[in-house]
Structure 1
Amino acid sequence: MTSATVTLLGAADASRPLGWRARLIEFLLVGGATLVLFPLAWLLRNTVGLDPAELAVGFLTFHAATVINDPHFAVTYLLFYKDARRRALGGDLAPAQRARYIAAGLLVPLALLAWAGAALATGSARIMGWMIQLMFFLVGWHYVKQGFGILTVLSARRGHRFSPTERRAILAHCFAAWAYAWASPADPGREVSEKGVIYTSIAHPPGLELATGIAFGVSAIALLWALGRRWRAERRPPPIEPLAGFFITVWLWTVYSSLDRLMVYMIPALHSVQYLYFVWLLRRNEAREAEGPPTFGKPTAQRLAVLAASAVALGWLLLRGVPAFLDGALMMRASGREAIAGLGETPYLAAIYVFVNIHHYFMDSVIWRRDNPDTRYLLHSL
C-alpha cells in the first residue's frame, strides 16, 4: 500500500464504528500479533534452547509461506493485471496513472527479465548479487509505505484525517526509517549467501549508519510533536490501533527487525497477513457492491474463494513449482551446471524469487494509489 492512498481519503467515510472484537481482530491482523509473538518466541527459546527453537520456527514458517507469503505476492499479479489493457490504454484513468501501469506492468518486468537473464546466461554471481541487493534495498521502502497506508486508511475509516503537516511528518519518519534500516548495521562489504548465490554486499560505512540514525531520531521527534500538537488542540489522540500498527511496521518490522532471531522468520508472514487483510477488505467490498443491482454478480464468498485459491495456486507455481522444475532440469544437464556454476544449485529459484519480490514492490506502488478507482472500496461500510 502506497503513501498516495491516503489522498483518496477526502471522500466521506461510510464505514460503521467497529465493535471491540472487530477492532481487536483487525489490530492483530495489521501488526498487533507481533506483540503476542515476541513473548511467545522468548518463552520457546528459553524452554527448548535457541537452536531447536530456530529449527522449529524456520520449518513452520517455510511451509506456512505456501498459504501466506507466496499468495501475498501472487495476489498482486491478480489485482494488477486484471483489466490491464483497459487500465493502461483506455481513458478511465489519469494519464500519469496509465503511465505507471505501463512502467510497472511492462517496462519493469522486461528490465528485470533482462537482468536475471544476463546473470543466468553468464553464470555471474556478481550480476545476480546486485539484483539481490536491489531487492533488499527496496524492501524497506515497501514496508514503510505499507505502514503509512495502514495508518492513514484505517484512521480514515474511523473518521480521523491527518493534516498536511502531519502527513509530511509521517512520511519523513517513514523514509528516514527506510534509510536507517538499510544503512544499519555498518558493513565493510562481506561475502553473503541468498538462495544459493554467494556475492559481496555493498559497504555501509559507520558514518552512513550514524547519519541515518540521527535522521531517524529527529524524524521520530518531529512526528511525535506533530501528533501531540493535534492531540492538545482537539483533546483526543489519533486512533490507537492504526497508530500502533504503523509503529510496529516501521520500528519492529523494518528498523529493529533483528531484535529477536526467531521473529526474523515471522516478520515476512506478519507483513503478508497485513497486506492480505487489505486485499480482502478491497475485494470483499467490491464483491458486495457487485451482488446488487444493476450487475447482480457472483456471491461475495464465491468471489473471495476463487481469488484466494487462485493466489495460492499462482504463488506455488511462481515460487515453488516452476523454480524447482527449472533447477531440477538444469542440474540434469552437465553443460547447464557448468554454465551457471557460480550461482549455486538453485539459480532459477534465486532469479525468480528476486524478480517476483522487486516486481511486487512496483506493482504495489501502482495498485494502491488514489488514481486507481478500486481503492474507494477501502472506505466502504463494513
Structure 2
Amino acid sequence: MTSMTTALPRPADPPRSGAWGDRVGELLVVGGATPILFLFSWLLRSSVPLDAAELAVGFTMFHAAHVINDPHFSVTYLLFYKDARARAFGARWSPAQRLRYLVVGFVAPVLLGAWAVAALVTRSAFTMGLLIQLMFLLVGWHYVKQGFGVFTVLAARRGVRFSPRERLAVLAHCFAGWAYAWASPADPGRELEEKGVVYTSIAHPPGLERITQIVFFATTLPLVLMLVRKWRREGRLPLVAPLTGLLCSIWAWSIYSGVDPLVRYMIPALHSVQYLYFVHLLKGNEAREREGPPWFERSARVRLGILAVSALGLGWLLFHGAPAALDGALVPRGTIPTSGTLGPTPYFAAIYAFVNIHHYLMDTVIWRRDNPETRYLQAPALPEERPAS
C-alpha cells in the first residue's frame, strides 16, 4: 500500500454492529497481535526447549503460508489485471496512472522474466543471486510503504488527515527505517543459500549500518513532534490502530525482525494478514455497493468467496504447483547445493523472486490515490473512532 484517497466520494456506510469487537479485531490484524505473539513466544520458550519450539512454530507457519502468505501475493495479480484493457487504454484513469500501469503490468514482468531466464539458461548462481538480493532490498521498502498506507488510510477512516509536511515526517521515518533494516547487520560479503541457490551477497560495511541507524533515530523526533502538535491543534487523535500498523511494519517486522527466534517465523504472516485486511475492505465495500442498483450483481459474500478461492488456487500454482513441476522435469535428481550453483530448485527460486518483486511493484499502482477504486477504502470508521468536532 502506498497512499490514501483524500478527495474521492465514499460508498454508503455499511451497517455496523459489535463496535468494540470490530475495533479490537482491526487493531489485531493490522499489527496489534505482534506484542501478544512476543508474549506467547516467551511462554513457549520457557516451557519447551528452543529447538522443539522452533520446529513447531516453523512447521506451523510453513503450512499456514498456503492460506495466508501465498494468497497475499496471488490476490495482487487478481486485483491488478482485472479489466486490464480498460485500465491500460481507457479514459477512467489519468494518463500518468495508465503509463504506470503499462510499465508495471507489462514492461516490468518482461524484464524480470528475462533476468530469471538468463540465470536459468546460463546456470549462473551469480545472476540469480542478484535477482534474489534485489528482492531482499525491496522487501523492506514494501513493508514500510505498506505501513505508511495502513497509517494514512486508517487515520482517514477516523477523520484524521495529514498535510504534505506531516506526511513527509512519516515517510522520512519509513524510508530511514528501510535503509537501516537493509544495512543491519553489516555484511562483508557472505556465501548465502536461498531456495537452493548458493550465492555471495553484496558487501556493505559497518559504517553504513551506523550512519543509517543515526538517520533512522533522528527521524523519530520529527515524527513524535508532528503527532504532538497535531494533537494539541486538533484535539483527540484516534490513532491507536494506525500507529500500531505503522510502527509494527517498521520496527518489529523490518528493523528488529530477528529479535525473537520464534516471532521471526510469523512476521511474513503478520504482514500478509495486514495486507489481506485492506483487500477485504476494498473488495468488500465494492461488492456491497454493486449488490444494489444499477448493477444488481451477485452478493458480496459470493464475490468475496470467489476472490478468496481464486487467490488460494493461484497461490498454490505460483509457489507450489508450477515450481515443483518445472524443477521435477528439468533439474537432475539428487542435485546438491554447492558454492556458486543453482541447486535442486532453481525454478522455484526464480519464480519466488519474480513474484515477490512484481508484487511490490504492482502495489505501487493498486493502492495509489490515482486509482479511483481506492475510494472503497474510505468507508468511515466506527463513530466512536472519529475525532470530536
Q: TM-score, normalised by structure 1?
A: 0.95
Q: CA deviation at 1:43?
A: 1.1
d(CA) in 2 for partners of 1:367 and 1:203? 34
d(CA) in 2 for partners of 1:313 and 1:299? 21
Task: Report the 3-state secondary structure (helix = DSSP H, G, I; strand = E; otherwise coil) of the residue aligned with 1:248.
Answer: helix
Q: Does 1:169 align with 2:169?
A: yes
Cα 1:177–1:333 change in 2 (3 A) is closer
Cα 1:166–1:15 change in 2 (3 A) is farther
Are 1:190 and 1:201, in contact at CA under 8 Å, matched by a contact in 2? yes
Q: Does 1:9 align with 2:6?
A: yes
Greater Cα offset, 229-238 or 275-284: 229-238
Matches within 5 A, 1:86-97: 86-97=86-97
Cα 1:218–1:337 change in 2 (3 A) is closer
Identity %: 63
Task: Report the 3-state secondary structure (helix = DSSP H, G, I; strand = E; otherwise coil) of the residue aligned with 1:232.
Answer: helix
Q: CA deviation at 1:264?
A: 1.2
Q: Which residue of 1 aligns with 2:348?
A: 349
Are 2:57 and 2:265, in contact at CA under 8 Å, matched by a contact in 1? yes
Matches within 5 A, 1:62-211: 62-211=62-211
Aligned residue type for 2:138:
L
Q: CA deviation at 1:178?
A: 0.5
Task: Report the 3-state secondary structure (helix = DSSP H, G, I; strand = E; otherwise coil) of the residue aligned with 1:129.
Answer: helix
Are 1:57 and 1:262, in contact at CA under 8 Å, matched by a contact in 2? yes
Q: Which residue of 2 aligns with 1:359?
A: 358
Q: Which residue of 2 aligns with 1:373?
A: 372
d(CA) in 2 for partners of 1:357 and 1:151? 23
d(CA) in 2 for partners of 1:260 and 1:125? 31
d(CA) in 1 for partners of 2:113 and 2:20? 47
Aligned residue type for 1:253:
W
Q: CA deviation at 1:139?
A: 0.3
Task: Report the 3-state secondary structure (helix = DSSP H, G, I; strand = E; otherwise coil) of the residue aligned with 2:198.
Answer: strand
d(CA) in 2 for partners of 1:89 and 1:81? 13
Are 1:137 and 1:182, in contact at CA under 8 Å, matched by a contact in 2? yes
d(CA) in 1 for partners of 2:126 and 2:87? 37
Matches within 5 A, 1:298-317: 298-317=298-317
Cα 1:248–1:145 change in 2 (3 A) is same
Q: CA deviation at 1:9?
A: 1.7
Are 1:15 and 1:381, in contact at CA under 8 Å, matched by a contact in 2? yes
Q: CA deviation at 1:331?
A: 3.2
d(CA) in 2 for partners of 1:235 and 1:159? 12
Q: Report the aligned-residue RMSD.
A: 2.0
d(CA) in 1 for partners of 2:235 and 2:380? 27
Task: Report the 3-state secondary structure (helix = DSSP H, G, I; strand = E; otherwise coil) of the residue aligned with 1:216.
Answer: helix
Task: Tell me the alpha carbon deviations over residues 102-158 of structure 1, each in whole angstroms, 9 at most, x when there is no partner.
Answer: 111111100110000011001111000000000000001100110011011111111
Are 1:100 and 1:366, in contact at CA under 8 Å, matched by a contact in 2? yes
Task: Report the 3-state secondary structure (helix = DSSP H, G, I; strand = E; otherwise coil) of the residue aligned with 1:345.
Answer: coil
When you count helix as a share of all residues, which structure comes out higher?
A: 1
d(CA) in 2 for partners of 1:312 and 1:290? 24
Aligned residue type for 1:350:
A
Q: CA deviation at 1:261?
A: 1.4
d(CA) in 1 for partners of 2:205 and 2:336? 37
Are 1:184 and 1:204, in contact at CA under 8 Å, matched by a contact in 2? no
Aligned residue type for 2:250:
V
Task: Report the 3-state secondary structure (helix = DSSP H, G, I; strand = E; otherwise coil) of the residue aligned with 1:342.
Answer: coil
Cα 1:48–1:337 change in 2 (3 A) is closer
Greater Cα offset, 226-235 or 39-48: 226-235
Q: CA deviation at 1:381?
A: 5.0
Are 2:104 and 2:361, in contact at CA under 8 Å, matched by a contact in 1? yes
d(CA) in 1 for partners of 2:336 and 2:88? 40
Are 1:165 and 1:226, in contact at CA under 8 Å, matched by a contact in 2? no
Cα 1:350–1:104 change in 2 (3 A) is same
Q: TM-score, normalised by structure 2?
A: 0.93
d(CA) in 2 for partners of 1:333 and 1:275? 37
d(CA) in 1 for partners of 2:158 and 2:311? 30
Task: Report the 3-state secondary structure (helix = DSSP H, G, I; strand = E; otherwise coil) of the residue aligned with 1:62.
Answer: helix
d(CA) in 2 for partners of 1:191 and 1:360? 27
Q: Which residue of 1 aligns with 2:28?
A: 28
d(CA) in 2 for partners of 1:332 and 1:130? 24
Are 2:38 and 2:263, in contact at CA under 8 Å, matched by a contact in 1? yes
Task: Tell me the alpha carbon deviations over residues 175-196 of structure 1, each in whole angstroms, 9 at most, x when there is no partner.
Answer: 0000000001111111011111
Q: CA deviation at 1:380?
A: 2.2
Q: Structure 2: 5+ residue runs without aligned partners? A: 382-389
Greater Cα offset, 23-32 or 243-252: 243-252
Q: Which residue of 2 aligns with 1:56?
A: 56
Task: Report the 3-state secondary structure (helix = DSSP H, G, I; strand = E; otherwise coil) of the residue aligned with 2:185.
Answer: coil
d(CA) in 1 for partners of 2:181 and 2:333? 41
Task: Tell me the alpha carbon deviations over residues 264-294 of structure 1, each in whole angstroms, 9 at most, x when there is no partner.
Answer: 1100000000000000110010001110001
d(CA) in 2 for partners of 1:242 and 1:306? 29
